[in-house]
Structure 1
């Protein structure tokens, strides 16, 4: 009898211990709300000009630091806009897992209209005012109601709505410039650094084809602005990344296969890059290339005179004009002051021109102009005051 009671007691304790161990195996990590607020890292303009004609253009690219929740976890970011500082009715503009997000002119216009702004002379509404923005960071990807989160300080942007039919402002478009001892500029960040060509259909994608110096010590990076080392783009663990997202400078691209011609393509949104050889041998080298058209003078006289471009001493296929006033109109590029070889395309500001292609549309402004006769790629970069 005593033996049976002892056996039952042992079984009871074994079951209790098993359940206790099972419960202990379900380890739960508790994320804590970061003590410091998340913060924006990009610089903002003093005023944003909005018009319905440019609604599809990007108005601003917001960037921010990643918060530390104390445990490794995916983070969902929500960029919010509001018509009032209290965020009474916040608008979720972008939801992303990245530390950056672009907001279009159209999104700002919608917010501005909700704030009662317009440029209609028949109303008493103001045509300019302030809009408010913040970014929320939440644990995970499901946005659970009780997830820890942190919210940035509020940033105020001043916007002005242009009257319908008024002068359309030039869009603010991103650029990337080459720097490094594999390039013409060497490690000087303000030495007429060659720009990459922005894809006119996707402003996050850039391409450059040209000469690079090679060797294990010949390297380069990409800068968003000439004369400034920040923000800069390079390689981190073999992947494209930026100093803004990393919090420090990325590594360099290395031309390890030797001096020659290469095509570089980068996607700053998806953080991808490719660098492949380009066969330049047999390509024609021109003695002159110029820009011609109504857009160079503002009248038809522009179609009868070439404005010669400067040929790069580093790469004879790269041509540029440091400063030129262009007018509303159209232009083309042509070689040897003759229509026998001319390039054109239907996209303004940047694109890939083809032989005998359409005229390139221009808007009145002062520009820096670049052309690549190997690919037909071109940049018309407005010079901002």
Structure 2
């Protein structure tokens, strides 16, 4: 019995001693990180973004680990906002590491929130391209499940440019020259056919001779002849024939609009049309008759005629005998024309020309090249 009591006493002493050791062990308490978090990666001056690259990593954010004074598990929250005050923000992601990949898709989300787009036809309130903006990122770090121990980084500015869409229905200019282009001859640069939605157009004075299209100014080897378009399956205007390395114009000489439609694979010629002046201010009044003054296109995109004017209204018509408002005063204003000060709009729904100058006979010229309407 005496031995049993001694053993029990020894056990009690050991337990008491261990308890004292536990009470005297140091207790480590996390403290706020007074220095905050600092980004260590280098930010680009501008990030190019697009839907096609949305799966790519735009940048990897790297920062110094938060120091709360003890070894502890820290959660980092990556926040983004279009407002540098972060009054509202989006959580891009969370991690226990000290780096995080931000994707182009994340960038696009903020671009859309900013109202940006890839449409080259849209502009912002200042009339500038609507594809450039910026958003802001910062890091939040905290210990545990509460915000009692939280620290933030300073924000960084992310400048973005949304790459504008390039229409797939566009084409490169062509250049036409040759003896058949009578105002040009075999001289570069020729006349440029500009492209709009896969349709190339230009006006030229055509004579009964040869000509050819070229893709590059000054490069004779870049020529596209009749056979080229024929082999590509184009339907070619009956006024044009194959002339070896060239086209040959066999129609009535004059001014034509040349149209190459790459979508429908056609080459067409449209003869120049006149304009007619009709109204109370001009001979013939509001009737189409033998007195109606015709404005002929003697030079591509320049119409002129001698006409007697009095103080009243009139407008131009592009089809003899057809009344419309296609060529009224407002039409030319909308096209950016500078109009002689002797004319003004009559202010009516038809937006007629009102002649306010001295009555008499004038040479009136409509110049669509320089965009002017003049009286001499």
What band does the TM-score fall into relative to the shorter chain?
0.3 to 0.5
Q: TM-score, normalised by structure 2?
A: 0.36
- More RCO (CA 8 Å, sep 6+): 1
Q: TM-score, normalised by structure 1?
A: 0.35
Structure number with bigger Rg: 2
